[in-house]
Amino acid sequence: MSTSSDQVATLSGLSAAELRGAGELAARFPLTPNAEPATAASHAEIMGDLTFGVAHTDHMVRAAWTPQEGWHGHRTEAYGPLTLSPAAAVLHYGQEIFEGLKAYRHADGSVWTFRPGFNAARFAASARRLAMPPLPEEDFVGSLAALVAADERWVPDAEGSSLYLRPLMIATEPFLGVRAAHQMEYLVIASPVGPYFAHGFEPVSIWVAQDYHRVGPGGLGAAKTGGNYAASLLPQQDAYDKGFEQVCFLDAATSTQLEELGGMNVFVVDADGTVRTPALTGTILEGGTRSSILQLLRDAGRTVREETIVLSELLDQIRSGEVAETFACGTAAVITPIGRLAGEGFDVTVADGRPGPVTTELYTALTDIQLGRRADPHDWMYRIV
Ligand code: COI
């Protein structure tokens, strides 16, 4: 596999300035309010103790697709269980895609989301790879706006908290033959969350999986689909059992190059200030946070390289001090310093196990933009409420 500085970002999506207003797009998903929303007491209890991905809000968004009708039945309704045939294709062949975004409460009470056009474009790209019908990008953004407007009381305002939005598409056709299904359902659910890692902005320890791969060349690695995460679960569990918080995967072709963690991209900061991340070779998910970090670094005039990162070279560079910091990033995890990198036969500490200055500066810049505390020159923030 070549060094791939020519393999640059493929997704950008519509910026906030190019999207129609949230009210207009949300109206595409009319609301039938939940007749039994959470009580004020249960809402207060949940919002007072936010852990990642546990709670859900009062509503969800839905739409359905068939070849005859296209996308139809757009609506916002009470959150609740789905009725699904046990023969539904998603349950057998994993024809499924999803996304992850957050809605942030700003100091003036307004609610915003970050680069929804990017996630809309990635959702459409994932759909194409999984032989599913792409959802029009403004319907995707409208669905987020409709859900956040219906569930506005669930957008927290505590530092480090947000309303996590989880759009997904599943193949619902009851058919056991192996082919692309002819019935789909699109859903969005939401969950008020605190930091993905309970300890917040503190370094995590990473186990590098050498016996397992997440994806292979020509596979689903560039798509956000459940199977890639399923492939990460056993190595992730092994990593936990060894006392590590996350697992890092190497490329399947040579088992020598860093790809990504179970659900996050990875970056390396050299002592000379250059920042590097594995190039998008088709086996790595193009993260919105990854893309935004690259832009912030370029804005700041730093040298940035998307290229092959060979594990053995990285270990030498960490030991010699040529590499000063490493960090992971994703919507859920934001930017998380990596303090320790270990695998069979090696165990190295990075930046003395503390958050490094470049990692900290990026975390501050990104979260300041997301929380409306600094200028947003690329029109990343999209106002919903
Ligand atoms: C995200 O960062 O939003 C992700 O999708 C990663 C993980 C929680 C699945």
Predicted pLDDT at 9: 65
With 0-12 CB in 10 A as exposed, 13-18 as middle and 19+ as buried, what is 31? middle
Residue nearest to atom 6 of ligand 1 (CA): 263
| Polymer length in residues for the chain | 385
The rounded distance, in Å, linking the Cα atoms of 211 and 12 is: 34
CATH number at 5-194: 3.30.470.10
In short, whether 330's Cβ falls inside 6 Å of ligand 1 is: yes
Closest CA to 8 of 329, 361, 330, 290: 290
Distance 320 CA to ligand 1 centre (A): 33
CB atoms within 10 A of CB 313: 14
Residue ranges of the chain with per-residue pLDDT less than 50: 1-7
Decide whether any atom of ligand 1 lies within 6 Å of the 13 Cβ: no
Distance CA 93, CA 95 (A): 6
Choosing from 99, 114, 191, 196 the residue with most ligand 1 atoms within 8 A of its CB, the one to mutate for a pocket test is: 196
Helix (H, G, I), strand (E, B) or coil at 36: coil
Which residue's C-alpha comes closest to atom 7 of ligand 1? 263
263 CA from centroid of ligand 1 (Å): 6
**Å from CA of 290 to ligand 1 middle:** 13
The b/e string for 191-215 (b: 16+ C-beta within 10 A; e otherwise) is bbbbbbbeeebebbbbbbbeebbbb
Pairwise CA distance, residues 214 & 123, whole Å: 20
CA of 264 to the centre of ligand 1 (A): 7
Please return the burial class of 155, using the count of CB atoms within 10 Å of its CB with bins 0-12, 13-18 and 19+: buried
Q: Rg of the Cα trace of the chain?
A: 21
Q: Which atom of ligand 1 is nearest to the CA of 196?
A: 8
Domain spans in the chain, listed from the N-terminal domain onward: 5-194, 204-370
Cβ(331) – ligand 1 distance below 6 Å = yes
Using a 6 Å cutoff on CB, does residue 291 contact ligand 1?
A: no
Report d(CA 363, CA 336) in Å as an integer. Answer: 8
Q: Which atom of ligand 1 is nearest to the CA of 263?
A: 6
The ligand 1 atom at the shortest distance from the C-alpha of residue 53 is 8
Q: Is the CB of 194 under 6 A from ligand 1?
A: no
In the reported structure, the alpha carbon of residue 6 is separated from the centroid of ligand 1 by a whole-number distance in angstroms of 27
Measured CA to CA, the distance from residue 247 to residue 236 in angstroms comes to 5
Q: How far is the CA of 330 from the centre of ligand 1 (A)?
A: 6
Helix (H) or strand (E) holding 6: none
Nearest CA to ligand 1 atom 5: 100
Closest by Cα among 97, 102, 310 to 222: 97
- Are 155 and 148 in contact by the 8 Å Cβ rule? The answer is yes
Distance 360 CA to ligand 1 centre (A): 21
Q: Give tens-digit pLDDT for 286-334.
A: 999 999 999 999 999 999 999 999 999 999 999 999 999 999 999 999 9
Phi then psi for residue 351, to 5 deg, are: 50, 40
For helices 137-150 and 116-129, the axis angle rounded to 10 degrees is 120
What are the pLDDT digits (tens) for 128-156?
999 999 999 999 999 999 999 999 999 99
Contacts of residue 301, Cβ cutoff 8 Å, sequence gap at least 6: none
Pick the residue whose CA is nearest to atom 8 on ligand 1.
332
For ligand 1, the distance from its centroid to the CA atom of residue 331, given in whole angstroms, is 6
Residue 202 CA to ligand 1 centre (angstroms): 18
Alpha-helix runs per DSSP H in the chain: 22-26, 40-47, 89-93, 116-129, 137-150, 226-241, 288-299, 311-320, 357-370
CATH value of 204-370 in 3.40.1440.10, 3.20.10.10, 3.40.50.880, 3.30.70.20: 3.20.10.10
Which atom belonging to ligand 1 lies closest to the Cα atom of 330?
2
The helix/strand/coil state of 234 is helix
